[in-house]
Amino acid sequence: MPLRATIKHSLQRFIRARRGAAAVEFALIAAPFFLLIFATLEVALFFLGSTIIENGVHEAARTIRTGQLQQSNQTVEDFRGSICERISAVADCSRIQVDVRTFNSFSSSSTNMPLNGDGDIDGSDFTFDPGGGGDVVVVRVFYDWQLLAPGVISGMSNMSGNKRLITATAVFRNEPFE
């Protein structure tokens, strides 16, 4: 059999062969598929954690709004513990930072993000002033959520160390409890 006929015959056999095609196709698709699945899980876990933290903050802030916290002389640590009871299933309570301020009106209640230039939380000016009856109060709780996979979704990280800042805010006017 001449060389040309042998090459042609071998090439035709290679084109017709189907053994291993599924393995090769899976190898080409597997990495992007699993990356997409993992990214979806990462986003879902982040939103679940964020929702639980926000609900916990709103429930705990109700004690400020109704005056229960002020009338029982609770401290910022007591308030943080109240939040922690509600979110401990998804969050490490040692990483919670609380900022509670009173304002004269809703329109004057502007606040800024507490991230410094290094991408870390700067809580040096955080206060705990739950106010009195009828005061406008802004309760902000910050939590640095550790992302599981660095670089899977590079746009999610807004802090140093592959973390995302979760901010839960409750703005309300205290009930006239005094």
Q: What is the mean pLDDT of the chain?
A: 88
Per DSSP, which regions of 60-162 are E strands? 96-103, 136-146
Per-residue pLDDT at 133: 92
Q: Is 115 exposed, middle or buried (0-12, 13-18, 19+ CB in 10 A)?
A: middle
Per-residue pLDDT at 54: 97
User: What is the pTM (predicted TM-score) of this model?
Assistant: 0.79
Written as one string, the DSSP assignment of 87-113 is HTTTS-GGGEEEEEEEESSSTT-----
Higher pLDDT among residues 159 and 50, named by residue: 50
Per-residue pLDDT at 176: 92
Q: Is 151 exposed, middle or buried (0-12, 13-18, 19+ CB in 10 A)?
A: exposed
Average pLDDT of span 6-31: 79
For residue range 63-88, list pLDDT tens digits in order.
Answer: 999 999 999 999 999 999 999 999 99
Six-digit token string for 173: 């006017």
Instruction: Indicate left, alpha or beta for 153 from its phi (over 0: left) and psi (-120 to 50: alpha).
Output: beta
For residue range 131-165, list pLDDT tens digits in order.
Answer: 999 999 999 999 999 888 766 666 788 888 888 88
Give the type of residue at 129: D
For residue range 80-114, list pLDDT tens digits in order.
Answer: 999 999 999 999 999 999 999 999 898 888 778 88
Six-digit token string for 105: 């009106």
What is the DSSP secondary structure assignment for residue 3, as one 8-state letter?
H
Average pLDDT of span 13-22: 73
175 vs 67: CA distance, rounded Å? 7
Per DSSP, which regions of the chain are E strands? 96-103, 136-146, 163-173
Per-residue pLDDT at 75: 94
